Chain A
């Protein structure tokens, strides 16, 4: 007895005959099925199908540049001449009383920046000479100088920034965004992660995991070496023809099952295998930066074949161009404690900045030239800031370093409907506390979601009896930085 309807048989038979052997995807299949009036919802509800937010956001996608370890903002974006004047003096009691720092006890010594700052662009943003290329795009960026968080250790702070909670287990920002908006690409993952400098982010895969959201929303790490996406390469000895032939057989056999048992899921699976087949070529293709002109490669400072931040910036542009919703970069090596020459805020910082300054500036300009900057939100931050004083353990040495600092720090944003050449919030004269317009990481999250068209209080998911959201139970959109 065959319990299946004529509709399904008719539909599948006709469909597979008409579509021939290759290239049927969720979209095409779904469109066809709609005409048959059956099971259309299966394909409309493809979890990665592009969706609308709560309203039309100015930004369609995000590139988040994370400088893991947290850069010394006082040597980059927040100029404190008073701190320079009092360099080497003991930190005033009022600033440190009752506070706890990761590696500093007792009375630390104030540390004025050794960098030269200047006002840049028409907006007159103060930026340091460690980031000369960013100085050149100052009018495209918005510096927020009044950020704060509660966490002073890397992993919990990173979790708070990306998942809204300092404990692990919740979905990351990119997962929330992909869950809410889906993807505009039918052959690339919606949420892509690129890692440079050879070390995972502090919270490991939790920083881009999907938590309790379905795993389809988790960040997919694309790599410069080995398979660009895990298992994208066919087994050794299997060429594309053979893969195609085997997928054809697989599809035919699955189709027989779909007819016999009648489960629409089987058809979805056929579509997912076809998508996988396309990803096998589209991902290596998009990851191949040699396709860029020499001039573009040079603008970024990209070097094909390496896992550098510069390459990843260029890849980020290529990915968003192809409809990827959220691109997350992590670059290790920004934990400037002063424990060695590489984490010295003078030469060490110069060297480290040289690996990101030009690529970020190039990314901003490139997106602008391609008309993508307005709808692409770029955010660049660490997980917290660094102290206005010398780190306790290393204060006796000749290498200058700063401790972790959650109370007041700076980040910058660009594009995606954010005011350029604009500075928001202020720290006090020594940079110890926020003097004006506090912005918590939950506020940053709320603002990012807002730019994408979400009311952050309503982008929620019911898990184990509770509605969860990225901003937990807090968050206010920072209206002042929106253009």
Chain B
């Protein structure tokens, strides 16, 4: 009785009730199961069950084989006893000193004179007495728990104690050891070692494998499994007619090289990564994270080894000089939800994201449920709450914090943006070159300009007659028209200057000279250690009172530009025109020196004789004491003052040098300056300025949320959270991993990179098994461990433990080469078998765990859709980029606090891209795919369910996507031959990849004839059926025929075998 559980599902707690889902979904309502199970089982099953119990009794009496604690005993104890007698001291009956059955020392401990387990002596073991007791107050487990040991389980526990009651570590927590490949009686049945493991088991069970599936079936199966797409009829024919013994292998190799491989296998990984295009919760805003999806596809197609794939996603940002791709990979853990609803506590949801990262990491790589330990020490597996938060600490120091903007982001330009950018750059280079290349005309123009430069500007500096400050400080008018001030926090100076002109004149510019003085802090010109900020300058001309007009007339001097000999960065002189409150003109960086500002009037202001210029210098910035201490004002009526003013001081200095005495550098400077002002170059200059601005304004459209470690001084403390409540904090902990697993390398820094390496370390007992099992599950429909998400005590036992360990070690030996591993699986004879089943075999092994037949189970949501589009010839090969929005029914609803959930359907080929590229909105997943069990990706999904429901039938019958596919197919059918039967043959082959039987073909023809007859009479209906939504029929086509073939196509796409691997 080496494998009592294999053939004895009923008694071992594994149910073999056939189920309408091909994945047998696990026991339902716990309490009703006992009753329901017997009601469901046909009589002969009950007989088998009873017979098995006898078999066990006999078996146990005679066994020489030792029971395997990990596989046969621990699950019984774990399911029935650990909750009260397990690792969690809070739940343990009797508290700290209470009985523990999860450890050897606990089971053998003296419990006040009784011993739960006495080695080799079941009759003296309290455990045996209590589980066998008829007294309901003593019987274990207590009735109130709803748990009950079966006869068989009681027998097993007794036998185990008889054998010594030894404990061994949980099977999956010891590193896999490569087992010997077993011998088989029929080596000719096997193509590789996988078969030797499987078939030796079949031989023990007295079963035989089936022959290889027929080639049409096989190529469709392997094409769907490796690329998610069916083969074309030409590919089918090529394979069927290929006499090469390696024909099948050639197909496999070809498929593994197709880019559709990465797209197909990507969706499994995207489920694990909980990838979606929106950030979740109430308003569920869209998020740009598709570059992560593309990273996954590209990595799979490039066959990146799984260990490297792991490191990049967990800690790509911590690699030395990471590439963009390695940083994008870290978006794996940015697929967590962000809550942007008003009034939420960011820390609460940041914390929720970290919890998700911990749980997802352990589920994806190690098939271990950590979630329990967030709130309390795990009840079944040796993971304490402290260990949970030590693991949490690895993820607790990234920069993201549930922010609305999803920062930190990696910002990159898209392809089209890069093109645009390069266009700008090319033209900028061209214009720059043009401007830098002198022409004879330009030289002549420059000479003319130099000659006419307005050197003769004369500034009028009449003494002011009034100087008032609003800052409460004192202004004094000194000699040379200079004004000095005492200190003030902020101030506005108003200075009156009689123009002293006998003639009418024009005010064209005002100059402010800020002057240094020893008495000022930092020698001035301002009081703030020498600095000042002039936030605004305005001026008016007051007409003389003598002019006979009502009241005093004031004319505004409208300044349009201001120039200075020096400006402090960020405090540029142009600010004084705009009058920015918190900014202005300042001279930090050049203090203790004289500076000047010239403000130019938009239009000259006419000033009659006797007028007065009143200048207001506003210094009301929010920087304290930034006021002028010594200054002087002047004005001018010179026509070319603007040109003079905008000429930089250094240029002025050069212009003042006689032309033949100028150095080369000075000459070149002057030429450059001329280029910047020459009227004939205005067009080029403004184009250049515009392009430069556009280039600067081109913001990256691709902004991917990424992981970024916090700087040393910003690092967060990690504390245990009582009952998982982020506000109820306990003891501080540092990064670490649960003690039950292999240790971290001693000298490595305690960071995510080390954690990532630990995950794929050769000492990790779980990762290789978990990953191998997951590939197996995808190919064979159910994992060797059926709970592919849970390898701990609460998970299923491996059905073929040696095979699993062999596969795990093989995966590592192949250096985590995913394609090569997949090839190994699909090359096996087990995979290639026919999937036919007899009632006896079905009854014996409904889930096909023994693989006495080939795998057959429902396709995924994406595959069903992609297949129909591909067979209809509609599928777009376009890869990558922003997600597509294929047609979906209009809901008329909006998301809570968000925008409408209906989308603008993509146009053109974007309508027909693979399902993987469909926009994945978490609160409103694409309805036809979610009907076929595509998850909404709120959390990591390790295993999708595979249901079979009427709503699915409605999708494939009536969803416009499938109707359109049938219409497109009909147009191909209609031109494929002459006779109806030829066309039907084409249609059948095209869709199913095989030849029909006569019966099948006749049935199709019968349907076509009936439909055709009806639709010839219903011309309007025929028109609709042939063209809505696909569009107008080809010229000359017979509409009723197209419509009738559409009916046929619709039936073909709904065949059971189309929804399944056959």
Contact = CB atoms under 8 A, between A and B. Distances in A.
Contact of B1043 (A218, A237, A460): A237
B284 interface: yes
A102 B339 CA distance: 14
B59 interface: no
Interface in B296-345: 337, 339, 341-345
Contacts of B30: 458, 460, 467
B1007 A246 contact: yes
A286 interface: no
Contacts of B1015: 237, 242
Nearest to A100: B345
A5 B838 contact: yes
- For B281, B889, B897, the residue with the greatest tally of chain A CB atoms inside 10 Å of its CB is B281
Interface string B1-31: 0000000000000000111111001111111
A260 B952 CA distance: 24
Interface in A450-483: 454-455, 458-467, 473
A169 B951 contact: no
A464 B963 CA distance: 38
Nearest to B835: A261
Nearest to B17: A41
A234 B958 contact: yes
Interface stretch (A85-93, A149-157, A296-304, A354-362): A149-157
Contacts of A242: 1011, 1014-1015, 1047
B1000 interface: yes
B894 to A, nearest CB: 5
Nearest to A200: B893
Contacts of A226: 889-890, 892
B30 to A, nearest CB: 5
B1024 A189 contact: no
A465 B20 contact: no
- For B22, B368, B369, B947, the residue with the greatest tally of chain A CB atoms inside 10 Å of its CB is B947
A466 B839 contact: no
B930 interface: yes
A372 interface: no
B27 A168 contact: no
Given A198-B894, A200-B924, A231-B957, A465 B939 contact: no
- For A42, A237, A239, A250, the residue with the greatest tally of chain B CB atoms inside 10 Å of its CB is A237
Interface in B914-955: 922-925, 927-928, 930-933, 936, 938-939, 942, 945, 947-955
Contact of B28 (A5, A103, A179, A205): A179
A356 B723 CA distance: 40
Contacts of B36: 51
Contacts of A202: 282, 896-897
Given A45-B20, A215-B930, A253-B1051, A461 B839 contact: no
Contact of A257 (B838, B1006, B1056): B1056
Nearest to A189: B951
A46 B840 CA distance: 21
B670 interface: no
B688 interface: no
Contacts of B32: 51-54
B271 interface: no
A216 B19 contact: no
A169 B1046 CA distance: 39
Contacts of B363: 464
B933 A215 contact: yes
- For A102, A225, A229, A463, the residue with the greatest tally of chain B CB atoms inside 10 Å of its CB is A463
- For B17, B30, B951, B1050, the residue with the greatest tally of chain A CB atoms inside 10 Å of its CB is B951
Interface string B1016-1049: 0010111111101000000000000001001100
A464 B942 contact: yes
A230 B1000 contact: no
Interface string B282-303: 1010000000000000000000
Contacts of A195: 893
Contacts of A199: 893-896
A325 B22 CA distance: 25
Contacts of B41: 41
Interface string A159-179: 000000001110000000001
- For A155, A215, A216, the residue with the greatest tally of chain B CB atoms inside 10 Å of its CB is A215
Interface string A81-119: 000000000000000000011110000000000000000
B949 A280 contact: no
Interface in A273-287: 273, 275-276, 279-280
Interface in A30-86: 37-42, 44-47, 51-54, 68
Interface residues of B, number: 125
- For B36, B945, B948, B1018, the residue with the greatest tally of chain A CB atoms inside 10 Å of its CB is B948
A378 B344 CA distance: 31
A231 B958 contact: yes
A465 B837 contact: no
B789 interface: yes
B795 A465 contact: yes
Interface stretch (A127-135, A263-271, A427-435): A263-271
B36 to A, nearest CB: 8
Contacts of A21: none
Given A44-B40, A214-B945, A205 B892 contact: no
B70 interface: no
Contacts of B18: 39, 41-42, 45, 264
Given A37-B42, A262-B842, A46 B923 contact: no
A464 B839 contact: no
Interface in A216-238: 216, 218, 220, 223, 225-227, 229-238
Contact of A154 (B894, B896, B945): B896
Given A3-B838, A37-B42, A153-B344, A204 B951 contact: no
B1056 A254 contact: yes
B1047 A261 contact: no
B341 A268 contact: no
A201 interface: yes
A37 B44 CA distance: 10
Interface string B988-1029: 000000000101100110110011001100101111111010
- For A47, A243, A464, the residue with the greatest tally of chain B CB atoms inside 10 Å of its CB is A464
Interface string B222-265: 00000000000000000000000000000000000000000000
A186 B931 CA distance: 19
A367 interface: no
29 contacts: A4-B836, A8-B839, A39-B842, A40-B40, A42-B19, A45-B19, A54-B31, A54-B32, A204-B901, A204-B922, A204-B924, A205-B924, A215-B933, A215-B947, A229-B951, A230-B928, A237-B1024, A237-B1028, A238-B1025, A245-B1047, A249-B1004, A261-B835, A265-B1060, A273-B957, A273-B1054, A276-B957, A465-B787, A465-B794, A466-B369
Interface of A: 3-5, 7-8, 37-42, 44-47, 51-54, 68, 100-103, 152-156, 167-169, 179-180, 189, 195, 198-206, 209, 213-216, 218, 220, 223, 225-227, 229-239, 241-243, 245-246, 249-250, 252-254, 256-258, 260-266, 268-270, 272-273, 275-276, 279-280, 307, 332, 404, 454-455, 458-467, 473
Q: Which 10 A-B pairs have the closest CB atoms?
A: A204-B923, A237-B1024, A237-B1025, A465-B790, A102-B343, A465-B369, A155-B282, A276-B953, A276-B950, A237-B1021
Given A206-B936, A464-B787, 4 more contacts: A238-B1025, A246-B1050, A263-B842, A273-B950
Interface of B: 17-22, 25-32, 36, 39-42, 146, 210, 280-282, 284, 337, 339, 341-345, 352, 363, 368-369, 371-372, 375, 380, 787, 789-790, 792, 794-795, 835-840, 842, 856, 889-897, 901, 922-925, 927-928, 930-933, 936, 938-939, 942, 945, 947-955, 957-960, 963, 997, 999-1000, 1003-1004, 1006-1007, 1010-1011, 1014-1015, 1018, 1020-1026, 1028, 1043, 1046-1047, 1050-1051, 1054-1057, 1059-1060, 1062
